[in-house]
């Protein structure tokens, strides 16, 4: 009897196109779900008859309560090698093997710059005006060369964002709680004296931290108030690092020039979510990891995980 494998949040219907699933075709039936399940009841009902689940990043939590409602589940595959929304202890107690996949850090770097450049040059406003026969040149672009780019976090993604900023001729500085001067110099950037100094002095601020107890709400109303009126804020990391209510208030009050956001407190965004209509906001539907090469890595890795599991030697185990 073939095992059943569910692929969650396959919005583009691409999971079986970007990877070769033939090595497991005789043993596994693959079913993709193009819609997101909004609550645990709906998810439990949809997954009740599946032995394997492939989930994207940290989009779908797998707490103990959900795992207990999936008695058939034997293998849970999460794209990437880090996932904070799976209850690993509950999975182990239920004999569910949890595995990760390869992933790349370049797609979120590229999207960060897409948002930053889009904000700086008013691309959405100008494109919409051009298509609608509106005014010819209604905005004045913000320069990058010679301006200061402040990075909150200088890890794998942040350091690559820094390199692009340096190539544009920007002055790049960075801050995080444990960032050292030696690490900053290694990347070729300045170490900001403090989070507050970085926010107050930067023309562009980009967030590149993992979400945890110490980073949740790291940028709130007080921090946003430090930004220059001409500054831009970009967040492609996790929504909760920036206080969402404070961000909305600051955007509506025009306290700084604008924000580029790829992550939200609720995903997908409800139709009436205030982020959909916020002024001075360039927003994308969590596209940071969404690239063909990354999807190829995710789903090819998932096939490898399934093969190894069926052979009795799981690989890339998480937890």
Q: Say if residues 205 and 199 touch (Cβ distance below 8 Å).
A: yes
Catalytic residue among 57, 267, 280, 296: 267
- Which residues lie below 8 Å from residue 152, measured CB to CB, with a gap of 6+? 158, 174, 175, 176, 195, 198, 205, 206, 207, 208, 209, 218, 219, 241
Q: Say if residues 294 and 59 touch (Cβ distance below 8 Å).
A: no
Largest Cα span, the chain: 64
Q: What CA–CA distance (Å, rounded) separates 79 from 268? A: 18
Residue 267 bears catalytic tag: yes
Neighbours of 117 (CB within 10 A): 16
- Which residues lie below 8 Å from residue 66, measured CB to CB, with a gap of 6+? 40, 43, 44
Q: Say if residues 108 and 85 touch (Cβ distance below 8 Å).
A: no
The two structure tokens encoding residue 148: 């200061």
Element (H, E) at 107: helix 106-120
Task: Kindly tell me the sign of the dihedral angle through the C-alpha atoms of 301, 303, 304, 308.
Answer: positive
Residue 238 bears catalytic tag: yes
Residue 178 bears catalytic tag: no
Strands 3-7 and 28-32: parallel
Catalytic residue among 58, 238, 255, 304: 238
Dihedrals phi, psi of 144, to nearest 5 degrees: -100, -45
Catalytic residue among 147, 148, 208, 286: 286
Which residues participate in catalysis according to the annotation?
238, 267, 286
């Amino acid at each position: 009897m073939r095992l059943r494998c569910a692929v969650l949040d396959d919005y583009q219907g691409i999971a079986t196109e970007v990877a070769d699933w033939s090595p497991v075709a005789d043993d596994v039936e693959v079913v993709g779900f193009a819609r997101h399940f909004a609550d645990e009841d709906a998810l439990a009902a949809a997954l009740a008859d599946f032995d394997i689940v492939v989930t994207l990043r940290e989009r779908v939590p797998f707490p103990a309560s959900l795992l207990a409602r999936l008695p058939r589940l034997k293998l849970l595959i999460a794209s990437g090698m880090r996932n904070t929304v799976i209850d690993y202890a509950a999975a182990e107690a239920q004999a569910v093997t949890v595995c990760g996949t390869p992933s790349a850090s370049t797609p979120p770097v590229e999207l960060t710059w897409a948002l930053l450049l889009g904000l700086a040059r008013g691309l959405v406003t100008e494109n919409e005006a051009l298509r609608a026969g509106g005014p010819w040149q209604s905005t004045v672009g913000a320069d990058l060369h010679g301006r200061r780019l402040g990075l909150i976090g200088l890890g794998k993604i942040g350091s690559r964002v820094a390199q692009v900023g340096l190539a544009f001729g920007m002055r790049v500085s960075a801050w995080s709680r444990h960032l050292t001067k030696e690490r900053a110099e290694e990347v070729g950037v300045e170490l900001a004296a403090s989070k507050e100094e970085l926010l107050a002095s930067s023309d562009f601020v980009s967030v590149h931290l993992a979400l945890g107890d110490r980073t949740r709400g790291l940028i709130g109303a007080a921090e946003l108030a430090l930004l220059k009126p001409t500054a831009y804020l970009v967040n492609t990391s996790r929504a909760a690092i920036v206080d969402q209510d404070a961000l909305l208030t600051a955007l509506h009050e025009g306290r700084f020039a604008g924000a580029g956001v790829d992550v939200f407190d609720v995903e997908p965004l409800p139709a009436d979510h205030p982020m959909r209509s916020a002024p001075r906001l360039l927003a994308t539907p969590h596209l940071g990891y969404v690239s063909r090469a990354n999807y190829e890595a995710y789903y090819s890795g998932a096939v490898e995980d399934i093969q190894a599991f069926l052979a009795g030697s799981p690989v890339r185990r998480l937890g």
